[in-house]
Chains A and B, each alone.
Chain A
Amino acid sequence: MLNRCQLIKLYKILSPFFVIVIAWKCLSWLLLLLKGVIFPAPEDVVREFVAYVQGAPIFGHSLAAQTWATIKRWLLGYLLGSLTGLVVGLLCAVSQWLAMALYPVVLMLQMVPGLAWIPVAILVVGIGPETSIFMIALATLPPVTIGLMDGIRGVPPEYLYVSRMCGDSSFRRFFMTQLPAALPSVMTGMRLALANSWRVVVAAEMVVGTGVGLGYVILQSRWDMNYEAAFVCIGVIVFLGLVTERWGFGRLEKYTVKRWGMLNE
């Protein structure tokens, strides 16, 4: 038998799914009753999902191929954006003059909604997989740079005193003191960037005809009236987002800032 503690744990994991399934079921009944609309119920979507997993094609490719296309695009864009964002942040941290010139630009970039870059992206890289990668990178860069900058600016002055007292070079001070002290803020920036980029990858696939990818499938399913496929893709998107968040950043934080007691929880 399960004890009380385990039951609570189980409840914590399962209850959100119950809420989703019940709300969903109610919605599909209501729509059928009031408007005569056939809205796919959870069990239809699960059946469809199982079929896709068993190898049924979904708009010309397997579900795995569609998902992989999105992941690949996202990963490339996110890595590109994060790296550029960190480099820009480092430049700003190294030189006040560069910071004065670059930081406001990054703040402005931050204000541009991801999809507003579509015309720009098409002009710069044309239409193709590069378009969405370009857009994802642009959505990733600002939060990463801002996170790094804010982190470096917020380093407690005592840490810098200690570093100077110990006779650090500015190079050692930066990597041994300022950067680790800024890490929680950098992580927050990268998390924000993750959410940003994940939204952009799906939206970009919808608009820029990529021919393959979860966003593309969601949009195409509208023409085919294959709404189950759309729901399957939404489910996959949510799942992937949660996985990167929990297993990616969760792990990273556990071994760094949480282990060091730098997060107050």
Chain B
Amino acid sequence: MNKGEVLLEHVTLSWKGADEGRLSVLDDLTLHIQAREFVCILGPSGCGKTTLLHLLAGFQRPSSGRIMVSGKEVSGPGPERAMVFQHSALFPWFTVAGNIGYGLKQGKRGKIEALLRLVGLEEFADAHPHQLSGGMRQKVSLARALALEPDVLLMDEPFAAIDTFNRERLQDELLRIREAMGCTIVFVTHNIQEAVYLSDRTIVLSQRPATITLEQDVALPFPRRRTDQALWQISQKLYGRCGCCTENVGNDSQ
């Protein structure tokens, strides 16, 4: 198994429900993600997308099945699986540089500088997170995750709370950074265009309990154009194939 390769085997997760029964969140998920692949997980709100990321990150354990990353079974959180959270989760008491370097032990300064340059926030090294815009905060959050030099980057609807223009710019920056870093990316979203524009492959999850309803390869070369007819056709197909997602069409802001 290669560095950055992800394998989920018959992963299920259920919680103790309110009335004796068990609440099934994920139902027998099997998924194989190649090293350096960009996979988007698409699904309706509350279907278990975030839970799936938490399992990959090791914040939660599956009820059954197993999760392998880079040939090792996931048994807890670790820097090789870094997460970017929906609301950035930056520490307000550290500066931007402090947040980026939080997980670093040695060679801190040079690395922080390189990452600040990578996300284009050199002038904001000494700012505190509350002084930044939402988009900038997500860039810092991304830089903090990249500082850990992860095999797999986990992104939980990172651009969902950002306006359309800035979101598109961030998407392009993410693709640029991906070229530079070369880690596997698992990106959760409920936005179909975003998934198709970014990913090599889009996985559509069903309503809870989540199962995979569709796997769509997006075999278009980068850089892509948002107005590309082929991109649109894939989006159209996804709109049609996952009824659960139609409610999210055009829902940009949340």
Instruction: Say whether A associates with B.
Output: yes
Contact among B83, B92, B102, B131 with A161 in the assembled complex (CB-CB below 8 Å): B83
How many of chain B's residues touch chain A, expressed as a range? 20 to 34
Q: Which residues from A are CB-within-8-Å of B77?
A: 161, 164-165, 167
What distance in Å separates the Cβ of B146 from its nearest Cβ neighbour in chain A? 12
Interface assignment of B129: CB less than 8 Å from any CB of chain A: yes
Residues of B within 8 A of A181 (CB): 91, 93
Interface SS majority for chain B: loop
Instruction: Judge whether A260 is part of the interface by a CB distance below 8 angstroms.
Output: yes
Give the complex CA separation of A164 and B58 in angstroms.
Answer: 9
Instruction: Determine the distance from Cα of A183 to Cα of B131 in the docked complex, in whole angstroms.
Output: 19
Residue numbers in B under 8 Å from A260 (CB-CB): 92-93, 128, 130
Does A221 belong to the interface (CB within 8 Å)?
no
A164 surroundings in chain B (CB, below 8 A):
58-59, 76-77
Check B79 against A167 for contact (C-beta < 8 Å): yes
Question: In the bound complex, do residue A158 and residue B91 qualify as a contact, i.e. CB atoms below 8 Å apart?
Answer: no
Q: Which residues of A contact B79 (CB under 8 A)?
A: 165-167
Beta-carbon nearest neighbor of A179 in chain B: B93
Main secondary structure of the interface of A (DSSP, over half): helix
Chain A residue numbers with a CB within 8 Å of B87 are 158
User: A156 at the A/B interface (Cβ < 8 Å)?
Assistant: yes
B85 within 8 A of A: yes
Query: In the complex, A180 Cα to B102 Cα: how many Å?
Result: 14
> Which residue on B lies nearest to A156, using beta carbons?
B89
* Given contacts A260-B93, A261-B128, A262-B92, A165 and B82 within 8 Å (CB-CB): yes
The verdict on A166 contacting B57 (CB below 8 Å), with A158-B85, A261-B128 known, is no
Nearest chain-B residue to A259 (Cβ)? B128
Flag if A165 contacts B83 (CB, 8 Å): yes
Partner of A166, one of B92, B103, B128: B103
Q: Which residues of A contact B92 (CB under 8 A)?
A: 260-262
Residues of chain A lying within 8 A (CB to CB) of residue B130: 260-262
Closest to A256 in B: B93
A162 at the interface (CB under 8 A from B): yes
Flag whether A11 is at the interface (Cβ < 8 A). no
Query: In the complex, A167 Cα to B148 Cα: how many Å?
Result: 10
Cβ A159 vs Cβ B59 within 8 A: no
Q: Is the CB of A162 within 8 A of B102?
A: yes
Query: Could you say which residues of chain B place their CB within 8 Å of the CB of A259?
Result: 128
CA distance A164 to B85 in the complex (A): 14
Give every chain B residue within 8 A of A180 (Cβ-Cβ).
Answer: 91, 93
Residues of B within 8 A of A176 (CB): 91, 102
Q: Which residue of B lies closest to A262 (CB)?
A: B92
What 0/1 pattern do residues 201 to 235 of B give for CB contact below 8 A with A? 00000000000000000000000000000000000
A84 at the interface (CB under 8 A from B): no
Against B, the Cβ 8 Å flags (1 = close, 0 = not) of A223-265 are: 0000000000000000000000000000000001001111000
Q: Check A177 for interface membership: any CB of B closer than 8 A.
A: yes
Asked whether, in the complex, the Cβ of A166 is within 8 Å of the Cβ of B148, the reply is yes
Across the two chains, which residue of chain A brings its CB closest to B150?
A165
A165 touches B93 (CB 8 A): no
A-B pairs with lowest CB-CB distance, top 4: A261-B130, A166-B103, A158-B89, A164-B77
Which residues of B are interface residues toward A (Cβ below 8 A)?
57-59, 76-79, 81-83, 85, 87, 89, 91-93, 102-103, 128-131, 144, 148
27 A-B residue pairs with CB within 8 Å? A159-B91, A161-B83, A161-B85, A161-B89, A164-B58, A164-B59, A165-B57, A165-B77, A165-B82, A165-B103, A166-B102, A166-B103, A166-B148, A167-B78, A167-B79, A167-B103, A176-B102, A180-B91, A180-B93, A181-B91, A183-B93, A256-B93, A261-B92, A261-B129, A261-B131, A262-B92, A262-B93
